[in-house]
């Protein structure tokens, strides 16, 4: 949930912009469109109770609005700004007290000494947020901050406001409670990116105060709302240590940290194996930095698979290959046989009394109709098989289910009868033609006389050639189809842009490759480019010359050389893949560096919303802090909001702190501590306790001295 505790709704001081003025309609529209659930109205040196109540009533609980004010305060000679935010239940008391404090003074020059102010507000139910020097204009130094804390009642939470969210993370690691608001200047350009999101959803002002005070009951209540499982693992069996380790795993961010060689990766590996043994391998995404090269190779160097053929959107033409292999050349009946047959008729010998002597029939084999009906029948059988694997009762009533079964059965039976009828019709014609020819031969043997041939054979001859031409042409045309491209986004590399895995599917051996240094992989290694080129040329020669001259030699080469390696077009396609970037519409082949490969592999490991478990072992290795902060951390936060299980072993403070992990597993030599940053406590299995902050500074920041030294270098 988003919360804005520094929100201006009025131009009060002369230096304020007119664009700070906002009416109730615009206020509600901006807040709801930016998903701000809670806000505090904190105008400069002024609390307008009338406007506050007007906004509260208009928003009608869609936005939880708290009363507040931003006062100019003098602390030990330093002038700065402090936000005072009140319990909305005490708005009347707050209004009266602020009116008394400011009185009739000019809002542009008003400034009150803190020691005078504190006595007038210590009894109120407030939250104080002071601007922090060097990180915010009108801020206070550490010395003044200490004085403010010293005089402030313990029951009032005190926070510091820097200039950006990144500074809040640095302050938190330094045991300073930071918070930031929009400090909105222009309601047409509300700075939503500055507004923080609370890890824990709070329902009201009181709950938020308890959260700020790290109240265990509030935090436990929140943790109990998150799905959790307590798993038992044996991570150190390789070291002959069979001790059980119990760790809670939340549907949120779970971080494992600690010193080198303490067994963090072994715990992570055991957790991974635990989920895999539960049958969740397909739901699990895994990244291990030290295995990055192998994982990247697996991701980008894809093997060719038969299923890839579908990308070409072609039929495999297996029946065409088979029909060419089975083809036999037909012959035209010699005219001498007609002469002898007619002569026999004139003689009027015994053969003229034989019924088949004068019979004539022209049979041309054509199984196209039967082939179509057969394919339909096979498809219907497949539909029936798939239907039987579906639990139909989940979708249809018993009556509807019966109707469906009856219709599918009728469809299959009717299809079968039509296929059977086409087969019988074709075979009947074939047998009739065969019978006439056989009986005429018998008559010739018995009488020595020649019957008139049933046909000239010309129609059969050219039909036979057509029966070869059609599959030859179909295969040749398919081998002329252009390649298909499939670009899969691998991830984003800062300053380079998006990187894609380009996958290209080829069937035409004559196509020129745009990037010649990337080789093609051929299916099953049966056909190579030279084989395909020669086969394509042979098919073309047969196609062009089949009706002009004898192509027996070319056909023999086709069948005996190339069709011995290929049973269908599935044996003829090729594939290749390589990484590219796209710049201004131009495609460039790109070979990422080792660090960039890590970035892409991390992206690939985190991108899928279909996975439910994400395990990362030291993702910060080989990638810069900018990539961790701008890509990895935001994505991990997204996964947490989606209730995914994210488990990370890390030495990186940005990952371990800025992702706001709900569960921290700290590892020392032969000892495991469990806790979280919200209560700043870690507890081992034997009850030993330590502070989360101390261990985080030591193992994530390199110790307090290193952390402070970096702060001095950056001036923060």
Q: Give 374-416 pLDDT, tens digit per residue.
A: 888 989 988 888 888 888 888 889 898 889 989 999 999 999 9
CA dist list (Å): 598 to 109, 299, 638: 56, 12, 20
- Average of pLDDT values for 554-581? 91
Q: Residue 649, CB half-sphere, CA atoms under 13 Å: how many? A: 24
CB 251 within 8 A of CB 645: yes
For residue 297, with 0-12 CB atoms within 10 Å meaning exposed, 13-18 middle and 19 or more buried, which class applies?
exposed
Cα torsion angle, 410, 416, 419, 424, sign? negative
Decide if pLDDT at 517 tops 90: no
Q: How do residues 171-220 score in pLDDT, each as one tens digit?
A: 554 455 667 788 899 999 998 877 877 766 777 888 777 677 665 665 66
Q: How do residues 294-335 score in pLDDT, each as one tens digit?
A: 888 888 889 999 899 999 999 999 988 998 888 877 665 666
Cα torsion angle, 173, 176, 182, 183, sign? negative
For residue 583, with 0-12 CB atoms within 10 Å meaning exposed, 13-18 middle and 19 or more buried, which class applies?
exposed
294 C-beta neighbours (distance < 10 Å), count: 11
DSSP element (H, E) containing 507: none
- pLDDT for 173 equals 47
- pLDDT for 666 equals 92
What is the spatial distance between Cα 229 and Cα 254, in angstroms, rounded to a whole number? Answer: 12
- The rounded mean pLDDT for the chain is 83
- Average of pLDDT values for 69-86? 91
User: Whose CA is closest to 250, among 646, 618, 617, 606?
Assistant: 646
Decide if pLDDT at 273 tops 90: yes
User: Whose CA is closest to 589, among 514, 511, 512, 519?
Assistant: 514
**What are the residues facing 357 on neighbouring strands?**
none
Those residues whose C-beta lies under 8 Å from the C-beta of residue 383, and which sit 6 or more positions away, are 408
Decide if pLDDT at 647 tops 60: yes
Among the ranges given (245-249, 323-327, 343-347, 629-633), the one the predictor scored with the smallest mean pLDDT = 343-347
What is the spatial distance between Cα 24 and Cα 29, in angstroms, rounded to a whole number? Answer: 9
In angstroms and rounded to an integer, the radius of gyration of the C-alpha atoms of the chain is: 41
Angle, vertex CA 570, rays to CA 569 and CA 574, nearest 5: 100
Tell me, rounded to whole angstroms, the distance of Cα 433 from its chain centroid: 63
More reliable by pLDDT, 539 or 641: 539
Give the β-pairing of 253-258 and 645-649.
parallel
CATH 3.90.350 fits 226-280+612-714, yes or no: no
pTM of the model: 0.60
Q: Where are the domains of the chain?
A: 2-214, 226-280+612-714, 306-318+479-576, 333-456
178 DSSP assignment: B
Cα torsion angle, 48, 51, 52, 53, sign? positive
Decide if pLDDT at 457 tops 70: no
For residue 402, with 0-12 CB atoms within 10 Å meaning exposed, 13-18 middle and 19 or more buried, which class applies?
exposed
- pLDDT for 164 equals 54
User: CATH number of the domain at 2-214, out of 3.20.20.140, 3.40.190.10, 1.20.120.140, 3.40.50.300?
Assistant: 3.20.20.140
- pLDDT for 648 equals 94
Decide if pLDDT at 254 tops 90: yes
- Write the DSSP assignment of 105-173 as a string of letters: --TTT--EEHHHHHHHHTTS-EEEEEEBTTTSTT-B-HHHHHHHHHHS-TTS-EEEE-SSHHHHHHHHH
Q: What b-and-e string marks burial along 518-538, b requiring 16 or more CB atoms within 10 Å of the CB?
A: eeebbbeeebeeebbebbbeb
| Residue at token pair 């990187």 | 499
């Amino acid at each position: 949930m988003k919360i804005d505790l520094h929100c201006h709704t009025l131009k009060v001081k002369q230096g304020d912009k007119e664009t700070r003025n906002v009416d109730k309609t615009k206020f509600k529209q901006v807040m709801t469109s930016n998903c701000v659930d809670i806000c505090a109205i904190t105008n400069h040196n002024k609390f307008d109770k009338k406007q506050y109540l007007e906004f509260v009533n208009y928003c009608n609980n869609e936005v939880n609005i708290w009363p507040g004010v931003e006062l100019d305060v003098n602390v030990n000679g330093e002038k700065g700004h402090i936000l005072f935010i009140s319990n909305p239940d005490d708005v009347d008391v707050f209004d009266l007290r602020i009116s008394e404090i400011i009185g009739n003074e000019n809002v542009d020059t008003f400034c009150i000494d803190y020691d005078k102010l504190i006595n007038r507000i210590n009894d109120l139910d407030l939250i104080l947020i002071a601007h922090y020097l060097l990180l915010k204009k009108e801020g206070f130094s550490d010395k003044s901050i200490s004085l403010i804390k010293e005089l402030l009642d313990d029951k009032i939470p005190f926070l510091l406001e820097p200039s950006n969210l990144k500074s809040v993370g640095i302050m938190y690691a330094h045991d300073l409670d930071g918070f930031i608001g929009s400090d909105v200047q222009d309601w047409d350009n509300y700075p939503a990116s500055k507004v923080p999101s609370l890890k824990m959803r709070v329902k009201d002002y009181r709950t938020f105060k308890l959260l700020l005070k790290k109240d265990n009951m509030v935090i436990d209540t929140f943790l109990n709302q998150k799905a959790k499982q307590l798993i038992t693992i044996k991570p150190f069996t390789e070291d002959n240590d069979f001790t059980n380790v119990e760790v809670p795993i939340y549907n949120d961010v779970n971080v494992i940290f600690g010193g080198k060689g303490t067994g963090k990766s072994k715990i992570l590996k055991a957790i991974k194996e635990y989920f895999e043994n539960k049958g969740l391998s397909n739901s699990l995404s895994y990244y291990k930095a030290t295995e990055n090269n192998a994982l990247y190779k697996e991701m980008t160097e894809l093997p060719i698979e038969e299923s890839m053929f579908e990308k070409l959107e072609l039929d495999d033409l297996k029946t065409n290959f088979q029909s060419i292999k089975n083809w036999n050349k037909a012959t035209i009946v010699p005219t001498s046989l007609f002469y002898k047959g007619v002569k026999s008729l004139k003689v009027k010998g015994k053969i003229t009394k034989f019924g088949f002597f004068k019979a004539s029939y022209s049979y041309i084999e054509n199984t196209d109709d039967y082939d179509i009906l057969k394919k339909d029948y096979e498809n219907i059988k497949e539909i029936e098989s798939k239907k039987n694997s579906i639990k139909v009762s989940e979708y249809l009533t018993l009556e509807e289910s019966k109707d469906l079964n009856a219709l599918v059965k009728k469809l299959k039976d009717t299809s079968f009868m039509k296929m059977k009828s086409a087969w019988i019709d074709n075979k009947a014609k074939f047998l009739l033609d065969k019978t006439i020819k056989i009986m005429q031969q018998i008559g010739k043997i018995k009488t020595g006389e020649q019957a008139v041939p049933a046909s000239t054979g010309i129609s059969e001859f050219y039909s036979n050639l057509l029966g070869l031409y059609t599959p030859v042409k179909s295969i040749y045309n398919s081998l002329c189809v252009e390649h298909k491209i499939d670009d899969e986004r691998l991830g984003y590399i800062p300053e380079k842009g998006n990187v894609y895995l380009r996958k290209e599917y080829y069937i035409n051996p004559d196509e020129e490759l745009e990037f010649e240094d990337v080789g093609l992989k051929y299916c099953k290694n049966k056909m190579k480019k030279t084989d395909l080129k020669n086969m394509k040329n042979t098919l073309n020669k047969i196609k062009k010359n089949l009706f002009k001259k004898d192509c027996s030699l070319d056909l023999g080469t086709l069948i005996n050389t190339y069709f011995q390696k290929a049973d269908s077009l599935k044996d003829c396609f090729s594939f290749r893949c390589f990484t590219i970037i796209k710049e201004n519409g131009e495609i460039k082949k790109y070979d990422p560096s080792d660090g960039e490969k890590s970035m892409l592999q991390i992206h690939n490991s985190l991108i899928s919303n279909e996975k439910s478990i994400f395990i990362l072992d030291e993702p910060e290795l080989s990638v810069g802090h900018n990539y961790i902060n701008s890509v990895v951390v935001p994505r991990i936060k997204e996964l947490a909001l989606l209730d995914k299980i994210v488990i990370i072993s890390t030495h990186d403070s940005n990952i371990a702190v800025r992702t706001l992990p709900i569960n921290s597993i700290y590892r020392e030599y032969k000892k495991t501590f469990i806790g979280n940053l919200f209560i700043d406590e870690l507890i081992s299995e034997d009850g030993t306790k330590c502070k989360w902050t101390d261990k985080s500074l030591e193992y994530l920041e390199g110790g307090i001295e290193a952390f402070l030294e970096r702060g001095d270098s950056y001036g923060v």
